[in-house]
Amino acid sequence: MKSCFFVGHREASEEIYPSLYAAVEQHILEYGVTEFIVGYYGGFDRLAASAVKEAKRFYPEVKLTLLLPYHPEERPIPTPDGFDSTFYPPGMESVPRKVAIVRANRYVVDHVDYLISYAWHPASNARELVEYAKRREKKGSLFITLIMSAD
């Protein structure tokens, strides 16, 4: 099963939605992705989840997984509407809360086949994660699609 993760800024305009949906559909049709993993903490994550939920209407084999950076017992989050499951990365129990999101994101980047990114702001965790992911891409173990701003 091929998987894809989303990384982007909290501040993401609805204007990128058409490009985001097109990228999701491309990943399903051209790359054979059947699992999409998305976080829960910002505008880009909401847009990415919406794009996958929309695609699931046409491609029922597609699954949408919510990444949980905090232990589910500590901060319970029921599986939201439109999601198929939640995922809490192994070994995260001892990670300090202030770096939990960064560490969870990095874990997923290390384990997926594809990354769809909207990270343009230079001083951000999203941008740092994309730079980290580019090292995997150079080794041929990850393929990154960049979503550009609509402006």
148 in a structural domain: no
Half-sphere exposure (Cβ direction) of 103: Cα atoms closer than 13 Å: 16
Give the count of beta carbons closer than 10 Å to the beta carbon of residue 126.
22
Tens digits of residue pLDDT in 33-50: 999 999 988 889 999 999
Residue 19: per-residue pLDDT:
94
Tens digits of residue pLDDT in 76-87: 888 999 999 999
Radius of gyration of the chain measured on its C-alpha atoms = 14
Total domains present in the chain: 1
132 in a structural domain: no
Average pLDDT estimate for 46-56: 97
Helix (H) or strand (E) holding 146: strand 143-146
- Fill in the amino acid letter for 109: V
Kindly report the pTM of this predicted structure. 0.92
Spell out the residues 6+ positions from residue 85 whose beta carbon is closer than 8 angstroms to its own: 63, 65, 66, 79
Tens digits of residue pLDDT in 75-128: 788 899 999 999 999 999 889 988 999 899 999 999 999 999 998 777 778 888
Task: Supply the range of the domain harboring residue 76.
Answer: 25-41+50-95+104-115
Asked if pLDDT for residue 151 goes beyond 70, the answer is no
